[in-house]
Amino acid sequence: MAAVAARGGFGLGRPGWRARGDVVRTVFLARIRIISRYKGAIFMEALLPIVFAAMPVLLGTAFAGPNAAQNFQLNTGTANYKLYMLLGAATFTVVSLMLWLIGYWVRREQETGTLESLYLAPASRFWILTGVTSYAFVRAFSAFLIAIALGSVIFQVNPFENGVGVALLFLALGLLPLWGLAFMFGAFIMKIKEADSVIQVLQWVLAFLIGVFYPLSLLPPFMQTIAGLFPPTVMTDGIRAAILNIGYFYGTGGPYASLAVLFAMALVVPLLGYEVFEVTERRLRRKEGVGQY
């Protein structure tokens, strides 16, 4: 009996699919329970894209005056600059929140001293991270939906005029590479520690590369190339192009080329992200340990 137990463990040692599902669910629920205590955070996340979108709209219209819509159309292909900014800002919130929440989770666990304890648990980190990223996804997507709904009322724009289905496809596909990027980001935070400052600066790097407030064609050619290799850029561009009926970053014949690129990214980036996370984690465990902060 003892030999059987020693060989097979006590059940927890080799969790089956049900136990893995339980790990994801428990982590997810724990995070949701924590955030539900801070309703202000959810409100702010929804408000943020609207404020972000309002600033360039007000700046642009103040200087371009009655020609604002006409000039904007010349540069972007649509005169609906309010919806353009709102979509950009709302998608940016999704990207930023996904990375922010994972980065902060790693850092918080490090600071509170529970990250190392997680490594003693028989649950695989993959499933714990899946729970955290699922929570991040739900929170980010909720913020996106509220921001679009509220922003549409405030800016008096209709986001359902064109291509909502294609836009949702871009969003769904784009979340997969974002998941991978979140893993990479978590690994990076684990390594360098200073989460706050890194997240903040990266947030603006992202906003710059994504082209939250402007078309990528305004960037210098080499910057356009870099931005195009970045999955959130393709996602944001796709969502905006589908809803506003404007040109896509990749290809001229509709959304297919951009979708294909995003699909390829969706295959590669999550695997790459998790690999990076594992390698970083292994190295840290060999050296100072993951709990040091």
Partner 1 sequence: MGLTRFDVRNRIVCFWDMSKKKIVEFSRYPVAFIALFVQIFLIITMFLYASLAFTADPTAGPNDQSRQIGATVVYGFVVGLFLSFTLWEMGFSLREEQTRGTLESLYLSPASKIGSLLARVFAILVWVGTLSVFAVLFVGAVLGGLPVANAGLATVVLAFSVSGFLGIAFVFAGVTIKLKETAQFLVSFLQFFFMIFSAQFFPFRALPQPLVDYVSRWLPVSYCVDLFRSLMTGAIPELIPDVAVEFGIVVAFGIVSPVVGYAIYKRFERGARTAGSLGEY
Can you give the binding site for partner 1, defined by CB under 8 A?
38, 40-41, 43-44, 47-48, 51, 54-56, 58-64, 67-68, 71-72, 74-76, 81, 192, 194, 196-198, 200-201, 204-205, 207-208, 212-215, 218-219
Nearer to partner 1, 219 or 268 (CB): 219
Smallest distance, Å, CB 58 to partner 1? 4
Smallest distance, Å, CB 63 to partner 1? 5
Smallest distance, Å, CB 194 to partner 1? 5
**SS percent in the chain: helix, strand, coil, step 5:** 80, 0, 20
Smallest distance, Å, CB 95 to partner 1? 15
Nearer to partner 1, 126 or 214 (CB): 214
Question: Are 116 and 291 a contacting pair, CB within 8 Å?
Answer: yes
CA–CA separation, 187 and 274 (whole Å): 9
Nearer to partner 1, 88 or 238 (CB): 88
Smallest distance, Å, CB 70 to partner 1? 8
Nearer to partner 1, 199 or 262 (CB): 199
Smallest distance, Å, CB 124 to partner 1? 30
Give the residue among 162, 164, 146, 143 at the shortest CA–CA distance from 154. Answer: 146
Place of tokens 């709209």: 57
Q: How far is CA 20 from CA 17, 90, 176, 180, in A?
A: 5, 32, 20, 20
Nearer to partner 1, 124 or 292 (CB): 292
3 state SS of 77 = coil
DSSP string, 232-281: HHHHHHHHHHHHHT---SS-SSSSHHHHHHHHHHHHHHHHHHHHHHHHHH
Nearer to partner 1, 164 or 192 (CB): 192
Place of tokens 């769904």: 172
CA–CA separation, 82 and 148 (whole Å): 11
Nearer to partner 1, 34 or 279 (CB): 34
Query: What is the separation of C-alpha 210 from the centre of its chain, rounded to a whole number of angstroms?
Result: 12
Amino acid of residue 197: S
CA–CA separation, 221 and 45 (whole Å): 33
Smallest distance, Å, CB 90 to partner 1? 15
